[in-house]
């Protein structure tokens, strides 16, 4: 069984029990935060190694590193073979900074996009702009409703009901 499949069977197992899953995720989120804090200290360095080597480097279990690789995957410049990776699979953590920030916002992971390390990467205005860009990308904007007595949107100058609104 590939590592990712093992990770998902543990992390999303509904038969495990709520308390045990909450403990697992609380521990994972703290370890994830620590890994990101280290990566963001030197954001231009592309960290590479096997899954096992990276787990050892960041002092986490192979399963935690697998979950981390799954989470960061959409923010990477060069994708990893996460679906079939094993402990000896070479992976990289070269991420697109803006994309990573926006993906953290999309995941509503405020413990990640509010890390102090972001202050050295983006100024406050840039972070606000990236935040706003991500939030607005998922906002549905409805067109203004045109009522029968409104001017026709085609620009004819007629009322909508006498122009494009005729049935």
User: So what's the pLDDT on residue 17?
Assistant: 85
Structure tokens at 18: 């709520």
- Which of these, 58, 42, 109, 51, lies nearest to 84 by C-alpha position? 51
Q: 77-118 pLDDT, tens per residue?
A: 999 999 999 999 999 999 999 999 999 999 999 999 999 999
Tell me the pairing of strands 48-50 and 90-92.
Answer: antiparallel
Indicate the pTM of the whole model.
Answer: 0.80
Contact 153, 164 (CB under 8 A): yes
Q: CA-CA distance, 113 to 126, in Å (whole number)?
A: 13
Joined tokens for residue 92: 């990289």
What are the pLDDT digits (tens) for 8-46? 999 998 888 888 999 999 999 999 999 999 999 999 999
CA pair distance 37, 115, nearest whole angstrom: 7
Integer angstrom CA distances of residue 89 from 9, 47, 148: 20, 14, 64
Q: Which alpha helices (DSSP H) does 42-121 contain, by range? A: 51-57, 62-72, 97-106, 110-113
For residue range 53-62, list pLDDT tens digits in order.
Answer: 999 999 999 9
β partners of residue 115: none
Contact assessment for residue 128 and residue 90, using Cβ atoms and an 8 Å cutoff: no
Q: Which residue, chain included where needed, has tokens 């986490």?
A: 60
**Residue 159: pLDDT above 90?**
yes
Strand partners, 91: 49
């Amino acid at each position: 069984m590939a590592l990712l499949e093992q990770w998902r069977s543990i992390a999303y197992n509904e038969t495990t029990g709520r308390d045990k899953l909450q403990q697992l995720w609380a521990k994972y989120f703290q370890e994830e935060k620590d890994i990101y804090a280290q990566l963001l200290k030197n954001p231009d360095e592309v960290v590479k190694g096997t899954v096992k080597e990276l787990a050892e480097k960041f002092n986490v279990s192979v399963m935690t590193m697998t979950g981390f690789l799954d989470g960061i995957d959409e923010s990477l410049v060069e994708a990893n073979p996460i679906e079939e990776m094993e402990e000896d699979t070479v992976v990289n953590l070269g991420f697109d900074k803006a994309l990573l920030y926006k993906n953290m916002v999309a995941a509503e992971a405020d413990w990640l996009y509010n890390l102090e390390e972001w202050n050295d990467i983006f100024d406050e205005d840039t972070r606000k702009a990236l935040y706003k860009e991500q939030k607005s990308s998922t906002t549905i904007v409805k067109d203004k409703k045109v009522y029968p007595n409104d001017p026709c949107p085609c620009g004819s100058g007629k009322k909508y009901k006498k122009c494009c609104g005729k049935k």
